[in-house]
């Protein structure tokens, strides 16, 4: 077993040092911008525990943005942004992963009197149960399309013949088809209006509570993320009317597909599939090295993916209430 990496913990506030570490992590859901918007608009009922780990040389090795959510019977420790983020966990550079894991172990020890169950959701990769002495709750598909690809046709040539044929035929059958990307601040709010409308049109009462239910948060984050150059809001329009949309975040050399919507009256035309393909094509054209297709095992994602690093959820229970909560979480699969 590798030797533990000595670290010390301290409380931290969003700052430039945090931003540098988030950039090194390559994860937009670990940024100061995401954190501040979530704390302002989505943290009701939570106690924040924003902790940082210093290595022996004094350098910042990891940030642990934790919150304690107090329910009627159970106190849950979770990563800030739970439910809304595609991927969570310690914020660190890839070379500091061991130090970050040790810091998380230490943080759980130091805060153990504050919670009954720690629920570590959407952690990248696998093996977190062994690293933290935790119980695995769920593993989930999180497929990616790896590049870079200089030519869209080269990428498509590595996909199935049926996908290539479907994309070509579906586009040819749609009269008045045009793709549009939001490129200036004045277009952002109307673009978000269309995104939420198409998302709700597709899902109705089953629309995600962490998206439709947190609309103020997502609009606040999108505004600042757009100013940073991260937002990619791409539409498929027919006769000037938006009928499908993909909302992604470009961060570092990767793009993260975050949310989408489509007009359910056009399901047979596969407008959702087409705008998704367009988002991947544009990301690679911009030089992205990886397009993260978003968590979930949907078949359309597998058609575009090159591999699947997965995400997993683990839990640590304390006391009778914690063990009962863990049992309930495992029964419902997260």
17-47 pLDDT, tens per residue?
Answer: 999 999 999 999 999 999 999 999 999 989 9
Give the model confidence (pLDDT) of 151-160 as tens digits. 999 999 999 9
The pLDDT of residue 1 is: 35
Going by DSSP bridges, is the β-strand pair 177-181/231-238 parallel, antiparallel, or unpaired?
antiparallel
The pLDDT of residue 206 is: 82
Average pLDDT for residues 300-313, to the nearest whole number? 96
**Average pLDDT for the chain:** 94
The pLDDT of residue 2 is: 44
The pLDDT of residue 3 is: 45
Give the model confidence (pLDDT) of 83-96 as tens digits. 999 999 999 999 99
Q: How far is CA 142 from CA 302, 311, 334, in A?
A: 10, 6, 15
- The answer to whether residue 112 scores a pLDDT higher than 60 is yes
The pLDDT of residue 262 is: 96
Host H or E run for residue 33: helix 32-41
- The answer to whether residue 6 scores a pLDDT higher than 80 is no
The pLDDT of residue 5 is: 60
Distance between CA atoms of residues 117 and 129, nearest Å: 14
Q: Which residues pair with 136 in a beta bridge?
A: 314
Question: What is the CA 36 to chain-centroid distance, rounded?
Answer: 16
Q: Which residues pair with 144 in a beta bridge?
A: 292, 307
- The answer to whether residue 215 scores a pLDDT higher than 90 is yes
Average pLDDT for residues 152-179, to the nearest whole number? 96
The pLDDT of residue 123 is: 97
Give the model confidence (pLDDT) of 203-214 as tens digits. 888 888 999 999
Distance between CA atoms of residues 202 and 244, nearest Å: 10
Return the percentage of the chain with pLDDT > 70, whole number. 98
> Which tokens in the block code for residue 69?
């959510």
| Confidence band of 326 (pLDDT split at 50, 70, 90) | confident
Domains assigned to the chain: 8-141+310-332 (3.40.630.30), 144-304 (3.40.630.30)
CB 197 within 8 A of CB 227: no
Average pLDDT for residues 283-304, to the nearest whole number? 96
Average pLDDT for residues 320-329, to the nearest whole number? 88
Burial class, 202, CB count within 10 angstroms (exposed 0-12 / middle 13-18 / buried 19+): middle
Distance between CA atoms of residues 329 and 283, nearest Å: 36
Pairs from 215-224 (Cβ < 8 Å, separation ≥ 24): 216/41, 217/37, 217/38, 217/40, 217/41, 217/42, 217/84, 218/84, 218/192, 219/189, 219/192, 220/37, 220/40, 220/41, 221/33, 221/34, 221/37, 221/38, 222/188, 222/192, 222/247, 223/188, 224/33, 224/37
């Amino acid at each position: 077993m590798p030797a533990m990496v000595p670290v010390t913990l301290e409380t931290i506030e969003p700052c430039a040092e945090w931003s540098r570490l988030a950039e090194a992590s390559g994860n937009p859901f670990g940024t100061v911008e995401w954190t501040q918007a979530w704390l302002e608009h989505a943290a009701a009922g939570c106690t924040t525990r924003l902790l940082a780990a210093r290595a022996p040389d004094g350098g910042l090795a990891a940030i642990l943005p934790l919150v304690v959510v107090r329910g009627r019977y159970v106190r849950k420790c979770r990563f800030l942004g739970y439910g809304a983020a595609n991927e969570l966990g310690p914020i660190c550079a890839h070379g500091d992963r061991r130090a970050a894991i040790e810091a998380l172990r230490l943080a759980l020890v130091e805060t153990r009197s504050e919670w009954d169950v720690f629920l570590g959701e959407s952690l990248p990769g696998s093996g977190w149960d062994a690293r933290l002495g935790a119980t695995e709750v769920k593993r989930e598909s999180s497929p990616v399309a790896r590049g870079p690809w200089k030519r869209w046709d080269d990428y498509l040539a590595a996909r199935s013949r049926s996908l290539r044929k479907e994309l070509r035929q579906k586009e040819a059958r749609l009269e008045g088809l045009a793709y549009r990307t939001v490129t200036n601040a004045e277009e952002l709010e109307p673009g978000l209006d269309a995104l939420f409308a198409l998302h709700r049109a597709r899902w109705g009462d089953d629309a995600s509570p962490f998206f439709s239910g947190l609309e103020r948060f997502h609009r606040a984050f999108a505004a600042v993320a757009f100013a940073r150059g991260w937002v990619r809001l791409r539409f498929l329009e027919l006769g000037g009317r938006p009928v499908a949309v993909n909302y992604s975040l470009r961060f570092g050399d990767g793009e993260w597909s975050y949310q989408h919507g489509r007009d359910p009256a056009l399901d047979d035309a596969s407008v959702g599939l087409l705008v998704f393909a367009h988002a991947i094509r544009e990301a690679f054209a911009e030089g992205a090295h990886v397009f993260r297709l978003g968590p979930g095992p949907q078949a359309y994602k597998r058609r575009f993916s090159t591999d699947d690093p997965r995400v997993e959820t683990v839990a640590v229970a304390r006391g009778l209430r914690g063990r009962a909560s863990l049992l309930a979480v495992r029964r419902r699969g997260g």
